[in-house]
Amino acid sequence: MPARLRRHQITESTAVGEALGLARSHWPDEAESKLVARLIVLGADVLRNQDAAARSSREQAWQTLCQRFAGTYQPGYLTELRADWPA
């Protein structure tokens, strides 16, 4: 019977074997396929958290920059500047 979900095949490199060994120590009763799935999901969670932290850091830097230069140009500054330009 064909599988409904896509399947993926990986080669067990040294790094993958070490990751599976670590996963096995956390979930000793799980099948290797389940360990691979858990590692993938955990890796995705880590990436999501890193992305969120990076976004937060950029947002904070932007807010700091905005506060630093707040009030540098008063309302109407561009209009006054352009009033002196030739038409």
**pLDDT, tens digit, 9 for 90 and up, residues 3-24:** 899 999 999 999 999 999 999 9
Its pTM stands at: 0.71
Residue carrying the six token digits 């080669």:
11
Summary mean pLDDT of the chain: 94
* DSSP secondary structure of 63-87: HHHHHHHTTSS-TTHHHHHHHTS--
Residue carrying the six token digits 């006054």:
80
Q: Which of 55, 17, 23, 54 is nearest to 39 (CA)?
A: 23
